[in-house]
Amino acid sequence: MEITELNPKIVWKYFHEITQVPRPSKKEEKIIAYLEKFAKDHGIEYKKDKVGNIVMCKPATPGYEDRVKLILQSHVDMVCEKNAGTVHDFDNDPIRTIIDGEWLHADGTTLGADNGIGCAAQLAVLASDDIEHGPIEALFTVDEETGMTGAFALQPGFLTGKILINLDSEDEGELFIGCAGGKGIVATFKPEYKAAPQDLVWLRASVSGLKGGHSGGEIHVGLGNANKLLTRYLYALEKNLDWCLAEIGGGNLHNAIPREAHALIGVKPADKAKAEELLRELDAAVRNELKAVDPKVRLDIEDAAAPAQVIDCKTKSALVRALYACPHGVLGMSHELENLVETSNNLASIKQRDGVILVETSQRSSTT
């Protein structure tokens, strides 16, 4: 079955078209052009502000002119993540979609249903001639994923509607009032690099196969975090062996639960078997822990080429212990609303860049 054959067909038609338009945060020029063409093709009045937000205005159907003007809102940018080994240029390539039973997903990348499906629903309403409605303003905002800068840039008078419905929720058939606040923290480690010892063997440890997910909508599910799983292995090395760390990396965006992580490590030849055994033991434990929610998780270790330099031992130890202690997941549930996550943390990314190591975490809470 093709995506355009799914029902309701008009929604999936527009969602498919949106997947064909590259739209990373802060690079929304192509999706903005698509929306402007849609408005012109359908004879819909629209306006665009200086940052790229667009509002399209559709008059009420006959007999509904006295209804309160309603604003429908979604954001046009998407989280751009891909699996290691997936060849995809988010600036230029369309998303490749796959229908798997009752699910639609992307081939090796994020799908962009956040918030492409909201945009598609708005376009379906605007294009339909069989839906009775009052006056509508359809607002499409830019750059939601990196700080909602599009929404913050809205100026007085750009909208005239009295009620706004945001179409960026994960739960079908439910209305939400309010949301959590968020904050990001980046910890910086500044290693002293030294020449890599010549008497070590080098191994690449990696975590892959995780589903990943949104750190807001899915933090409570118990999905695996590649950075935390990799850290568990490095912490086991720290407790059991003398070893060196040359490279480390995992995750990408602050609001995505990391799916993949890796580290380049060096051990004495006599300790290679022990290093591999520690990973195999952890792999078995993790597969058992996550079998209900992340059944495709895997930890691998393979021979690797020797690096030119390694991180100094003091920084390596501090980094591993800090990552091991860093919380991930739900930190507190609401005492007032059933099943509401009140406070959470996402150990989002570990990046080695220009000689420093950056560890990004994302906090959310509905309390101050």
Query: Which residue type occupies 120?
Result: A
> Is the omega angle on the peptide bond into residue 8 within 30 degrees of 0, that is, cis?
yes
- Rounded to whole angstroms, how far apart are CA atoms 156 and 271? 66
DSSP class of residue 105? E
**Does residue 57 contact residue 137 with C-beta atoms inside 8 Å?**
yes
Cβ atoms within 10 Å of 310's Cβ, excluding its own = 24
Token pair recorded at residue 287 = 């597969």
Catalytic choice (28, 77, 145, 271): 77
**Does residue 76 contact residue 142 with C-beta atoms inside 8 Å?**
yes
- Length in residues, the chain: 368
- Rounded to whole angstroms, how far apart are CA atoms 315 and 307? 18
Active site residue 137: no
Give 271's contacts (C-beta < 8 A, 6+ positions apart): 241, 242, 243
Active site residue 77: yes
Cβ atoms within 10 Å of 353's Cβ, excluding its own = 8
Token pair recorded at residue 161 = 């509607």
CA distance to 11, 190, 203, 276, 301, per residue, from 200 (Å): 57, 24, 10, 14, 16
Which among 297, 300, 279 has a CA at the least distance from the CA of 289? Answer: 297
Phi, psi values for residue 354, rounded to 5°: 50, 40
- Rounded to whole angstroms, how far apart are CA atoms 227 and 244? 18
Catalytic choice (81, 114, 144, 271): 144
Give 80's contacts (C-beta < 8 A, 6+ positions apart): 24, 25, 90, 109, 110, 253
Active site residues: 77, 144
